[in-house]
């Protein structure tokens, strides 16, 4: 594969300061893999980094400059000599959260507890708003040949959903089949509703936007613009990050309800914990994903109708337009084609 010495990348230098730049290709270390990016999805996290509002950038853990982009697919361009089972030309996706796999937290699979972790395009490692991404080979997952790379860019958000659902499933029990509500029909809420329906749950999706709910038309998923009837559900997934929605769910859910929170950020809110204790409710938080979730996502995506996610794709050079479009909420997902192949 021909690899040019300079490549285009969007670099965020500080809050509100982003530019498309030509960067020299990084050296491919013995354990590294250089990936030619095919598609990258725009995520709210990217915009939070741009605005300096992401928690990591407020608490000093995250540092500029950084190239954003963690929802991506690509093709291997170079492989370090110690990397096994990966070869040039393979279609791949990459784990966003990259842990040390040695510390006490990692040994107990508490990945988010790893203090050494980096997150591609988010924390300490450049992401995929770029023609190339360099990552350690151990976090790279090959895709079946002829995979649609535009759809594959959705593996990362799907893995985030699957990690949350596996935590939810642990509480509900492996064979449970009940009624689930999913609050929020953005990309995460949408994938969550579809995944739960596929598992046999009766699902109702809630969103203020009839447009977003319209994507469920013709599926078994019910849709509602009013956040009411919450006492009907065995489990409720919150995927908006809205403290008001969360407050309502905590209060109105039925006794014994299990609540999975996937939204960020939730602002602090006065809350009476007796609502939980007095009614046997369980609250689960979940963020990010790990290797097993990404592998599951690779198998899940071909079984889902992803057309709603593929309505808008721009070239990398138009990243500012892509960000503008993201804000309009006209599309469930805005993607950028970097090297569409």
Residue 313 beta carbon to Zn ion: minimum distance, rounded to whole angstroms: 17
Cα–Cα distance list, 289 to 88, 129, 158 (Å):
26, 20, 9
Residues 7, 132: contact at Cβ < 8 Å?
yes
| Given 3, 25, 86, 103, the residue binding Zn ion (CB under 5 A) | 103
Cα–Cα distance measured from residue 28 to residue 102, given in angstroms and rounded to the nearest whole number:
23
**43 forms part of the interface with Zn ion (CB under 5 A):** yes
* DSSP classification of residue 87: -
| Interface stretch with Zn ion, choices 75-83, 91-99, 195-203, 258-266 (CB under 5 A) | 91-99
In the complex, the smallest distance separating the C-beta of residue 254 from Zn ion, rounded to whole angstroms, is 31
- Options 114-122, 199-207, 229-237, 283-291: segment touching Zn ion (CB under 5 A): 114-122
Cα–Cα distance, 253 to 59 (Å, whole number):
34
Question: Quick one: 114 or 152, whose CB is closer to Zn ion?
Answer: 114
What minimum distance in Å lies between the beta carbon of 12 and Zn ion?
Answer: 15
Q: Is 286 in the site for Zn ion (CB under 5 A)?
A: no
Query: Binding to Zn ion by residue 106, rule CB under 5 A?
Result: yes
Footprint of Zn ion on residues 125-184 (CB under 5 A)? none
Nearer to Zn ion (CB atom), residue 103 or residue 284: 103
Nearer to Zn ion, 69 or 253 (CB): 69
| Interface pick for Zn ion out of 86, 100, 284, 310 (rule CB under 5 A) | 100
Residue from 114, 128, 162, 249 touching Zn ion (CB under 5 A): that is: 114
- DSSP character for 130? B
Considering beta carbons, is residue 143 or 159 the nearer one to Zn ion?
159
C-alpha closest to that of 153 among 308, 25, 337: 337
Which one, 257 or 301, has the nearer CB to Zn ion?
301
C-alpha 111/C-alpha 105 separation (Å) is 6
Among residues 238, 244, 252, the alpha carbon closest in space to that of 189 is found at 238
CB of 114 to Zn ion, least distance (A): 3
Instruction: Please report whether residue 99 would count as binding Zn ion according to CB under 5 A.
Output: yes
**259 contacts: CB under 8 Å, gap ≥ 6:** 235, 236, 237, 238, 249, 250, 253, 281, 282, 283, 284
Closest approach of Cβ 51 to Zn ion, in Å? 15
Q: Any idea what the Cα angle at residue 28 is, between residues 23 and 30, rounded to 5°?
A: 165
Contact yes or no for 128/37 (Cβ under 8 A): yes
Where do contacts with Zn ion occur on this chain (CB under 5 A)?
Answer: 43, 45, 99-100, 103, 106, 114
């Amino acid at each position: 594969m021909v690899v040019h010495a300079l490549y285009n990348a969007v670099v965020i230098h500080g809050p509100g300061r982003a530019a498309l730049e030509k960067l020299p290709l990084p050296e491919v270390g013995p354990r590294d893999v250089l990936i030619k990016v095919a598609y990258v999805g725009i995520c709210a996290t990217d915009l939070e980094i741009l605005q300096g509002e992401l928690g990591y950038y407020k608490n000093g853990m995250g540092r500029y400059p950084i190239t954003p982009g963690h929802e991506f697919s690509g093709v291997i361009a170079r492989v370090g000599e110690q990397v096994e089972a990966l070869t040039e030309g393979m279609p791949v996706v990459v784990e966003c959260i990259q842990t040390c796999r040695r510390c006490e937290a990692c040994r107990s699979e508490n990945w988010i507890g790893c203090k050494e972790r980096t997150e591609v395009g988010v924390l300490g490692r450049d992401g995929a708003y770029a023609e190339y991404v360099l990552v350690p080979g151990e976090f790279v997952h090959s895709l079946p040949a002829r995979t649609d790379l535009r759809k594959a860019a959705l593996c990362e958000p799907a893995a985030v959903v699957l990690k949350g659902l596996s935590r939810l499933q642990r509480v509900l029990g492996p064979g449970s089949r009940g009624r689930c509500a999913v609050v929020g029909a953005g990309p995460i809420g949408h994938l969550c509703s579809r995944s739960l329906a596929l598992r046999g749950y009766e699902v109702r999706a809630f969103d203020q936007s009839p447009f977003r709910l319209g994507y469920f038309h013709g599926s078994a998923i019910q849709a509602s613009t009013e956040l009411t009837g919450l006492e009907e559900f065995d489990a409720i997934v919150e995927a908006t990050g809205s403290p008001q929605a969360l407050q309502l769910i905590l209060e109105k859910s039925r006794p014994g309800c299990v609540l999975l929170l996937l939204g960020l950020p939730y602002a602090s809110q006065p809350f009476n914990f007796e609502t939980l204790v007095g009614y046997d409710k369980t609250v689960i938080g979940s963020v990010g994903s790990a290797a097993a979730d990404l592998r599951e996502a690779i198998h899940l995506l071909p079984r889902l109708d992803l057309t709603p996610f593929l309505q808008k794709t721009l070239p990398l050079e138009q990243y500012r337009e892509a960000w503008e479009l993201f804000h309009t909420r006209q599309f469930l997902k805005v993607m950028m084609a970097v090297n569409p192949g």
